[in-house]
Amino acid sequence: MLETSLKLLKKIENHGFKAYIVGGFVRDYLLNRPSLDVDIATSATPMDIKRIFKDIFIPKVEYGSVTVFYHNIRFEITTFRRELSYINNRKPIEFEYIDDLYEDLQRRDFIINTICMNSDGEIIDLLNGKNDLDKKEINTVGDSYKKFAEDSLRILRAIRFATILDFKLSDEIKDAIKLTKHNLSSLSYQRKKEELNKIFSSKNARYGISLLQELELDKELELYNLEDITLNVDIIGTWASLNISENYPFSRNERELIKKIREAVTKDNLNNEVLYQYGLYVNSIAGAMKGIDKKKITKKYEELPITNIQDINISGDEIMHILNKKGGPYLKSIYGDLVSLILNGKIENDNNLLKNYVVNNY
């Protein structure tokens, strides 16, 4: 990844522009952490980049940067810029391209995100970001209050980086968040959810949650019972444990899943009928919320005599034939009885036994 990135920098430089790796990749490289994609800061404009990478250029509306897939790696290429004005405490609406890296770094959020690497692989650290990495502390580039007032997403990014990297937030950041947190109400729920997902799925999630509570962001984010959160390897289980605003975006499937998990958590997840009704996945999540070992639930589930209605060893035709009746809603009710009897061990799932049962009881 590093080699390919340096090659890409050289390619841009060969066209007469400056180019540096910046942000997450360099930060994570110095911390020995893996990165998924690479951010590039360059004096080349999106049009220049388009010319340099003819067929692999994807313009991005958001933040005016472009994405290039180069040797299967995702590069986010952003032109050096100065930001002039913001709208709704988010997203600059006006910016101008500039030719200077140092100035470009001024618009960035945190000092740890300003460390660069040049095309020779050398670290260019104009704002002394390494010092913050050593101290394990997050500081804003310039005045914290101003940074958070300009863009409230930065509040959540601060918590996210602190959580994932296990870093402290500077006192100035904490004070500024307290003064600007009300602006979170105008941040889109999609953005809030993305950042919260990253915080909740971190192995340091507990620390992130304690920061959200300490800075009283939970109410601001309409997370009404953050104190009750149960962290689940499956993020949907984590969301199911939270009482949140209806505005958070979830697909229909996810909403249904959340509803089922919330129901299942009130039941005995080792009970055969509950296992049958909600299935292994939902019961595992609900069980995890109550500290029930997943292996125990899986074992119980695998021992179920039936896991769905097709497993019952008597067909609808057979029942109709025995009762000498046409099909109708009564079949569903018989099957319901049989499911319950089989799951409770009252009758074996055996064709002859089931036929006899139907003959004698209906």
* Binding site residues, ligand ATP, CB under 6 A: 23-24, 39, 108-109, 113, 151, 153-154
Alpha helices of 221-315 — where are they, by DSSP H? 235-240, 252-264, 272-289, 294-302
Residue 207 CB, nearest approach to Mg ion (Å): 21
> For residues 112 and 244, which CB has a smaller minimum distance to ligand ATP in the complex?
112
Question: Cα dihedral sign for 154, 155, 157, 162?
Answer: positive
Which residue in the shown chain puts its C-beta closest to ligand ATP? 24
Residue 132 CB, nearest approach to ligand ATP (Å): 13
137 contact, one of ligand ATP, Mg ion, none, CB 5-8 Å limit per kind: none
> For residues 169 and 274, which CB has a smaller minimum distance to ligand ATP in the complex?
169
Residue 36 CB, nearest approach to Mg ion (Å): 8
83 contact, one of Mg ion, ligand ATP, none, CB 5-8 Å limit per kind: none
Which residue in the shown chain puts its C-beta closest to Mg ion? 24
338 with 354: CB under 8 angstroms? yes
Residue 116 CB, nearest approach to Mg ion (Å): 13
Residue 108 CB, nearest approach to ligand ATP (Å): 4
Question: Cα dihedral sign for 164, 120, 114, 154?
Answer: negative
Question: How many other CB atoms are there within 10 angstroms of residue 94's CB atom?
Answer: 10
Cα(279)–Cα(259) distance, integer angstroms: 14
Q: In terms of Cα–Cα distance, which of 155, 165, 151 is closest to 62?
A: 151
218 contact, one of Mg ion, ligand ATP, none, CB 5-8 Å limit per kind: none
Residue 231 CB, nearest approach to ligand ATP (Å): 20
- Find where tokens 């939970």 sit: 218
Residue 250 CB, nearest approach to ligand ATP (Å): 22
> For residues 141 and 358, which CB has a smaller minimum distance to ligand ATP in the complex?
141
108 contact, one of Mg ion, ligand ATP, none, CB 5-8 Å limit per kind: ligand ATP
By CB under 5 A, name the binding residues for Mg ion.
24, 39
> For residues 109 and 218, which CB has a smaller minimum distance to Mg ion in the complex?
109
Tell me the Ramachandran region of residue 35: left when phi exceeds 0, alpha when psi lies from -120 to 50, beta otherwise.
beta
220 contact, one of ligand ATP, Mg ion, none, CB 5-8 Å limit per kind: none
Phi, psi (degrees; rounded to nearest 5) at 72: 65, 10
Residue 154 CB, nearest approach to ligand ATP (Å): 5
Cα(317)–Cα(111) distance, integer angstroms: 72
Pair of tokens at residue 261: 């998990």
Pair of tokens at residue 346: 């009252």
Cα(237)–Cα(254) distance, integer angstroms: 10
Q: Which residues of 233-259 are buried (b: 16+ CB within 10 A; e: fewer)?
A: eebbbbbbbbebeeebebeeeeeebbe
> For residues 154 and 181, which CB has a smaller minimum distance to ligand ATP in the complex?
154
> For residues 39 and 218, which CB has a smaller minimum distance to Mg ion in the complex?
39
> For residues 89 and 232, which CB has a smaller minimum distance to ligand ATP in the complex?
89
151 contact, one of Mg ion, ligand ATP, none, CB 5-8 Å limit per kind: ligand ATP
